[in-house]
Amino acid sequence: MASRREFLAGAVAGTAAGAAAPRSGSNAVTLRTHEWFGDKLETFEFPKGWQITRYDMKGVNAPALSSEQIRAAIHNPVGATRLQEIAAGKKTAAIAFDDLTRPTPTYLIAPHVVDELRAAGLKDENILFVTAYGCHYQMNGLEVAKKLGQETVARHPWINHNIWENHADLGVSKAGNHLAANVYYYKADVKITISGLKAHGTPGYGGGPKAILPGISSMKAIRYMHQEIKRARKPRADANGVPIFYLWDNEQRQDMIEAARRIGVDFTVQCVYGHERQAVHVVAGDVVKAHHQAARYAVSHLATEYATNADVIVVNAYPKGAQLHEHFGWGNRGLKSGGSVVVVNQNPMGEYVWHYLDEAGFNKGGSYFGQRDTRKRRYPEASQVLLYSEYLQARELDHPYFPPEAVGMRRWDDVIQALKKTHKGDSVSVAVYPYAGIQHGIATLDLPGHEPDAS
């Protein structure tokens, strides 16, 4: 097995190492793992006779876009003029981009954005990349190189956003939020964002204006938006019982949009992901209108039918293992009473995001150990909750967002032995969510058929 150091220096992108061949007569499922660290196809074997069903998203067969197709999307923006025209006569540009918690293949998109800026006359040294990590942690050079690509970091400067200092005052929003955001980004002549769409409880989908608030905003503005702006009560589902993602009638999202408008985002590139971290749909242009158009594609593409009455639910955290805690909820999606939940996170860095906004509210037990002991069991009807990772650290099992009943295992054989103790015989049904980091259930959007005026 390769060392941790070797994995941390792994390949930037998308071509996965081949999976080991299953043993003759075995019963196995192949899953993609190690996002951002080489990408591997791993074989996970189950007892003979167990019934394994994969629950893929509807768009699983969508082809990856070619470089030419990505360029064409950037050259034909929605709700904005072409970037080359926007940048004409300008001297500096700043590009906000998301961190490794998002599978956005920025390394495929950034070169085309830069080409547009160069064609407008901007010099490489005057094109600045800014990490839009919100309340996560600051990125290091290795991570940024994975995200942007080696050539981009060699040609162009990049900086980490600072949530505490160096902000431009953007005034008070309609919701009463004193908006402030990265001053270096604010002072650039041309302002661009690159991000991707993933279901998110606050704004419906990530991406779009979220790259500004919380992406490059001050801690004070981020905290106010999350904690003080209350979304109005709405039906959580439509008349047919389909959950609604609120991308417009959403007070917190409107605050994000207002921040993006005030800082003056000129151009955005929005990416919808495939199941192998590839770009399958790209929309460029206005930061709101392009995001809405991408969302209309994503809501069908990423939609996944849930399992029903499964004995075992297997949740693969790929390609978002950095925020592993978000995946345990999948264990409730189709599990029968007394069933077992298995969460797989084959990512060498594991749950590595320190989320400042969350951490501020965690210390309810008066100490680290008290905080850990105040956690409440989350799966009372499950017989067991297992977390598998060969890189598992003890601290991951202490995370305030992790179910306290979770048992960590570093060998897949141990997972199987634990499952066999609970589930006897051959008629065991196993439901697999193969890339839960981007999948979501069947949903609809609150966007009208007519694009709203967001200006």
Structure confidence at residue 352 (pLDDT): 78
- Could you give the CA distance from residue 318 to residue 59 in angstroms, rounded to a whole number? 16
140/191 same-domain check: yes
Residue 454 forms part of a structural domain: no
Query: In which band, very low, low, confident or very high, does the pLDDT at 11 lie, cut at 50, 70 and 90?
Result: very low
> Average pLDDT of 421-431?
94
Count of domains for the chain = 2
295/326 same-domain check: no
Structure confidence at residue 361 (pLDDT): 75
192/291 same-domain check: yes
End-to-end CA distance of the chain: 54
Query: In which band, very low, low, confident or very high, does the pLDDT at 13 lie, cut at 50, 70 and 90?
Result: very low
What is the Cα 80 distance to its own chain's centre? 26
* Of 251, 282, 301, the domain-final residue: 301
Per-residue pLDDT for 259 more than 70? Answer: yes
> Average pLDDT of 47-63?
97
Q: At what angle do helices 106-119 and 141-148 cross, to 10 degrees?
A: 80
Cβ atoms of residues 225 and 252 within 8 Å: yes
Nearest C-alpha neighbor of 284 from the set 213, 360, 365, 196: 196
The CB density around residue 239, as the number of other CB atoms within 10 Å, is 6
What is the number of alpha carbons within 13 Å of residue 19 lying toward its C-beta? 14
Structure confidence at residue 372 (pLDDT): 86
254/348 same-domain check: no
* Comparison of pLDDT for 133 and 201, the residue scoring more: 133
Residue 445 forms part of a structural domain: no
Residue 453 forms part of a structural domain: no
Residue 448 forms part of a structural domain: no
Query: Residue 309, class by beta-carbon neighbours within 10 Å (0-12 exposed, 13-18 middle, 19+ buried)?
Result: exposed
Beta bridge partners of 29: 44
Structure confidence at residue 449 (pLDDT): 61
282/135 same-domain check: yes
- Could you give the CA distance from residue 446 to residue 245 in angstroms, rounded to a whole number? 6
DSSP letter for each residue of 267-307:
EEEEEEE-TTS-EEEEEEESTTHHHHHHHHHHHHHTEEPPP
Summarised one tens digit per residue, pLDDT across range 269-281 is 999 999 999 999 9
The phi, psi pair for 30, rounded to 5°, reads -100, 125
216/334 same-domain check: no
The phi, psi pair for 269, rounded to 5°, reads -125, 120
Q: Which residues form the domain of 350?
A: 4-58+306-440
Q: Which residue matches tokens 């599990």?
A: 335
Range list of H helices, 28-175? 67-75, 83-87, 106-119, 141-148, 150-155
Give the tokens for residue 298: 């994503």
CA angle 271, 275, 277 (to 5 degrees): 50
Cβ atoms of residues 392 and 346 within 8 Å: no
Cβ atoms of residues 8 and 142 within 8 Å: yes
Cβ atoms of residues 130 and 94 within 8 Å: yes
The domain that holds 51 is classified in CATH as 3.90.226.30
- Most confidently predicted of 199-203, 385-389, 397-401: 385-389
- Could you give the CA distance from residue 190 to residue 128 in angstroms, rounded to a whole number? 10
Residue 447 forms part of a structural domain: no
Query: In which band, very low, low, confident or very high, does the pLDDT at 114 lie, cut at 50, 70 and 90?
Result: very high
